[in-house]
Amino acid sequence: MRTLVTIIVLLCASVADARYCNSPSCSMCNRLFGSIGMQILRPDPRVESTPQVVVDAMLKELHLTPRDVLYDLGCGDGRILIAAVKQYGCMAVGIEIDPEVADLARRRGKDAGCGRIRIVTGDARTFSLSKATAVTMYLFPDLVAELMPKIKTDRVVSYSHGLPGRDSRMTMVAGKYPIYVLRRTDWDLFGEPKTAERSVRKPESSWTPW
């Protein structure tokens, strides 16, 4: 049985660039790789997704903890949310305007066994973002510009496009993928955020995701 599992894992890995599975359903691969702590996401033609190496770099910039609530605005297939929950144990909210893509993200979250993910279908511009303690985005520049004033946290990372109106720094991931990280004025000398900043905001209004 063990040999069989190993062969299947190796086969999947060979067609999958270790993290991406091209099989019609990822459930089996998710179970196999999930058992050794890996995340499998098959590229979906409906979504232009952030490469996994960039996802990992973006999340690292945010210094997430289990007390955080990460929002991915335009969450696509949910890969950022899944990685955040798996790697950092935080809660994660995806807002996705395309109902089919939102369903895909929900399925993938479920397949990956992530109970701390909520996907809401709708236009990110119409939601309160005040409960987010961290935000990721990979959106068109005009949309990023429109969303920036709604974001209350200063832990924000955007892939590909800058963060207008706020001071950010650009980092190149793997030599070719630019990410923009909001500059924080209130981090201490060792790069750690002040304690008060880390606490999750208390719920204010009627709409949930935390």
Ligand X SMILES: C[S@@+](CC[C@H](N)C(=O)[O-])C[C@H]1O[C@@H](n2cnc3c(N)ncnc32)[C@H](O)[C@@H]1O
Positions touching ligand X (CB under 6 A) are 47-50, 72, 74-76, 79-80, 95-98, 101, 123-125, 138-139, 143
By beta-carbon proximity to ligand X, the closer residue of 32 and 57 is 57
Q: Is 153 within 8 Å of 132 (Cβ atoms)?
A: yes
Q: Is 97 within 8 Å of 122 (Cβ atoms)?
A: yes
| Chain position carrying tokens 């207008």 | 164
DSSP 8-state secondary structure symbol assigned to residue 191:
S
By beta-carbon proximity to ligand X, the closer residue of 32 and 137 is 137
By beta-carbon proximity to ligand X, the closer residue of 32 and 155 is 155
Q: How far is the CB of 137 from ligand X (least distance, A)?
A: 7
By beta-carbon proximity to ligand X, the closer residue of 9 and 145 is 145
| Dist. CA 123–CA 170, nearest whole Å | 27
Which residues on neighbouring strands pair with residue 91, listed in sequence order? 69
Report, in angstroms and rounded to the nearest whole number, the Rg of the chain calculated over CA atoms.
17
Q: Is 147 within 8 Å of 161 (Cβ atoms)?
A: no
By beta-carbon proximity to ligand X, the closer residue of 34 and 51 is 51
- The residue at minimum Cβ distance from ligand X is 74
| Dist. CA 123–CA 95, nearest whole Å | 7
Q: How far is the CB of 46 from ligand X (least distance, A)?
A: 7
Q: Show the CA angle centred on residue 69, arms to residues 195 and 127, nearest 5°.
A: 125
Q: How far is the CB of 196 from ligand X (least distance, A)?
A: 29
Q: How far is the CB of 10 from ligand X (least distance, A)?
A: 27
Q: How far is the CB of 12 from ligand X (least distance, A)?
A: 21
